[in-house]
Amino acid sequence: MEVVVPAAEVARERRRAKRERSEEPSVGFVVEKIAALRRSRPSVPRDISLARWLEYLSRSEAENEDRLCEALGLLERAVAVASKTRRVPRCWLRDVRRLRLLLAAAAAGPRPAVATRVVPIVSAEEACLGRFLRLGTPVLVRGGGDVVFGSRRWTLETLFDELPPDAVAEIKEPAPGRWAGLEVRRTCAARDFVAAPRGYLHDWSLPRHAPGLLDGISIPRWIAGDYLQRCGETPYAGAWPSLFVGPQGTRSALHVDAHATHFAMALASGAKDWRVWPADRAPFLGPRFSDTSEDLLFDDDDRPAPFEITQLPGDLIVVPSNCPHAVDNADTTVALAINFVNATNADDFLESFAIAADDDLPRCCGEDAIHRLRADLRYLAETDPPHFLRWRDHLPWPAWQQLCCKHKR
């Protein structure tokens, strides 16, 4: 019996059900699929398919521990067999391992009740974000965006004047089944886009495409100790800060930022509506993995969120690592974002980095690189960053580089 990846079957059934004015596959359909898989010959694809369908069925049940435990056992067997035979693509095996961890967390306890909580709001003068990051709680820094932008207030007009004429922007459009529900659909001159925004300029790297925009930008003391800027083995140091320009109505669907990085966004204009879930809620939001990448996707995008807040111009919001979040642009927005690593998420970043190294990071993978990175991160965790840095000083950081060189010797 040929086993089809369940995600494709679910999508097919959803399309059929939608034509019948129903959004989800019927319980009977799922039960029949599970029964058919149980009758089929055991194999790695069959075990993975059966585990995913069992997890899918558990979402509609209050007592779901037995199904989750069975799914977890199937994934553990699939990983053990696939690791020995090496007949399964590494990227597939990596995703199965991550799904196994999520199912283990879901099977460990009851589904948590949703209780709305207030997002902490602190001022830029008194902000101390370490405790929020350690607790996995999002926090809004009132005036934090003003610290980042200084006297400059980015608008569509100022961006048009300052963007390089030859800068090319990758414009994203809604795409279910892709990370954050978005996919690059076209390219155009960055100036043309900001002159008449259509689509979403999402996570566009400024160091790579428009470094001149970063002149005068300050990195607040809460982010200035970013380990990614200190460790040469990672390819992410030049990816951020990134630019977000979204017309009213554009959005980022429920997602988690890659490699367990913290996320901070300073808003220059417009308003953004945020919904954030703690990291321990991720197993209960219908997690799955994209067919084309390692990105974690969620089916339950409409589920009520414990944390909801509106970000206004001059605000900076910080979302801790591994926290699922969704964002809607209430107005046309211009924002600057950065992903970062510090002592509170260095271990999680290292684990994610090591898992992805074989497939995604060919130039910096390998046991030696992982050991060097681990040593660097531990060293950096024992030092204190300065209070704040201008962006131009943030990149080289000569004093820190000397310390790192001394440490490596």
Interval 172-185: pLDDT, tens: 999 887 889 999 99
Query: Does residue 90 sit in the same domain as residue 149?
Result: no
Query: Does residue 81 sit in the same domain as residue 225?
Result: no
Confidence of residue 1 (pLDDT cuts 50, 70, 90): very low
Residue 393 domain flag: yes
Query: Does residue 199 sit in the same domain as residue 256?
Result: yes
pLDDT tens string 46-75 = 887 888 788 777 766 555 667 777 877 887
Query: Does residue 24 sit in the same domain as residue 95?
Result: yes
Q: Which of 72, 107, 142 is the last residue of a domain?
A: 107
Query: Does residue 281 sit in the same domain as residue 333?
Result: yes
3-state secondary structure of 102: helix
Q: In the beta sheet, which residues pair with residue 103?
A: none
Residue 113 domain flag: no
3-state secondary structure of 78: helix
- Whether pLDDT at 110 is above 90: no
Query: Does residue 380 sit in the same domain as residue 319?
Result: yes
Q: Which of 54, 73, 107 is the last residue of a domain?
A: 107
Number of Cβ within 10 Å of residue 224's Cβ equals 20
Residue 80 domain flag: yes
Residue 112 domain flag: no
Query: Does residue 101 sit in the same domain as residue 126?
Result: no
Residue 1 domain flag: no
pLDDT of residue 360: 45
- The residue with greater pLDDT, 93 or 194, is 194
Q: What is the pTM of this model?
A: 0.74
pLDDT of residue 185: 95
pLDDT of residue 404: 40
pLDDT of residue 26: 76
pLDDT tens string 72-84 = 788 778 777 776 7
- Whether pLDDT at 89 is above 80: no
Query: Does residue 139 sit in the same domain as residue 78?
Result: no
* Of the listed ranges 233-242, 322-331, 332-341, 344-353, the one predicted with least confidence: 233-242
Quote the domain boundaries for residue 143.
121-408
pLDDT of residue 401: 45
Query: Does residue 154 sit in the same domain as residue 285?
Result: yes
Residue 84 domain flag: yes
Confidence of residue 369 (pLDDT cuts 50, 70, 90): low
Query: Does residue 156 sit in the same domain as residue 268?
Result: yes
Residue 375 domain flag: yes
Instruction: Give the rounded percent of residues in the chain with a pLDDT score beyond 90.
Output: 35
* Of the listed ranges 41-45, 100-104, 323-327, 382-386, the one predicted with least confidence: 382-386
Query: Does residue 13 sit in the same domain as residue 132?
Result: no
Number of structural domains the chain divides into? 2
Residue 114 domain flag: no
pLDDT tens string 126-146 = 778 888 998 899 999 999 999
Query: Does residue 63 sit in the same domain as residue 188?
Result: no
Residues 140-169: what's their mean pLDDT?
93
- Whether pLDDT at 387 is above 90: no
Residue 267 belongs to domain with CATH number: 2.60.120.650
Q: Which of 82, 107, 132 is the last residue of a domain?
A: 107
- Three-state SS string across the chain, please? CCCCCHHHHHHHHHHHHHHCCCCCCCHHHHHHHHHHHHHCCCCHHHHHHHHHHHHHHHCCCCCCHHHHHHHHHHHHHHHHHHHHHCCCCHHHHHHHHHHHHHHHHHHCCCCCCCCCECCCEEECCCCCCHHHHHHCCCEEEECHHHHHHCCCCCCHHHHHHHCCCCCEEEEEEECCCCHHHEEEEEEEEHHHHHHCCCCEEEEEEHHHHCHHHHCCCEECCCCCCCHHHCCCCCCCCCCCCEEEEECCCCEEEEECCHHHCEEEEEEEECCEEEEECCHHHHHHCCEEECCCCCCEEECCCCCCCCEEEEECCCEEEEECCCCCEEEEECCCEEEEEEEECCCCCHHHHHHHHHHHHHHHCCCCCCHHHHHHHHHHHHHHHCCCCCCCEEHHHHCCCHHHHHHHHHHHC
Residues 287-298: what's their mean pLDDT?
64
